[in-house]
């Protein structure tokens, strides 16, 4: 059986997303949560080709497994610090966890009312002026005297920095 990829893709382009989800389950042998039409078409076409012509060689599969075991997987790319004038947070160490929480040993710097606030990130909290704090919000409250969301105060989320 020869596979005409262009013909199959053209037929799939005319299908609804629901039909593609069903075809995906039929061709791939598993369900999908995706409702993205182009993604489904590409995945189905790839699987159809792999089924018709053979997938990756055993050697390639083994190498992929080795690379995956050694890989330090990330969900998102590292955050890049944007350095700007006073009143803006500067992440001195650009290692940031995906949720916006800085990595241990990183430093956050923030200008507030002419005062430079420097916070060191610890494994289990933060250090500010020789004291340990459990959250950035606690530090923001110590600095301003008012309750602040720590991530907003230090510019790790949009909408902060008064």
Strands (DSSP E) contained in 3-157 are 90-91, 107-112, 115-122, 125-128, 131-133
For the chain, give every domain's residue range.
5-70, 90-153
Please tell me what DSSP assigns to residue 102.
B
Task: Give the integer Cα–Cα distance in Å for 73 and 104.
Answer: 18
Query: What predicted TM-score, i.e. pTM, was given to this entire model?
Result: 0.41
79's tokens? 């955050």
How buried is 119 (Cβ within 10 angstroms: 0-12 exposed, 13-18 middle, 19+ buried)? buried
Q: In whole angstroms, give the CA distance from residue 155 to residue 161.
A: 6
Token pair in block for residue 48:
């159809």
- Give 10-residue mean pLDDT values along the chain (162 residues): 84 95 93 93 92 86 82 61 51 49 78 91 88 91 91 76 53
């Amino acid at each position: 059986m020869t596979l005409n990829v262009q013909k199959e893709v053209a037929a799939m382009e005319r299908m609804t997303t629901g039909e593609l989800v069903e075809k995906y389950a039929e061709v791939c042998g598993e369900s999908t949560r995706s409702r993205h039409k182009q993604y489904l078409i590409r995945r189905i076409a790839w699987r159809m080709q792999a089924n018709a012509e053979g997938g990756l060689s055993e050697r390639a599969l083994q190498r992929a497994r080795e690379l995956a075991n050694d890989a330090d997987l990330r969900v998102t790319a590292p955050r890049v610090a944007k350095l700007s004038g006073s009143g803006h947070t500067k992440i001195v160490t650009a290692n940031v966890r995906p949720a916006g929480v800085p990595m241990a040993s990183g430093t956050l710097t923030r200008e507030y009312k002419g005062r430079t606030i420097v916070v060191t990130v610890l494994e289990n909290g933060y250090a500010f002026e020789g004291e340990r704090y459990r959250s950035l919000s606690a530090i923001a409250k110590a600095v301003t005297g008012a309750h602040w969301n720590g991530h907003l105060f230090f510019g790790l989320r949009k909408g902060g920095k008064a």
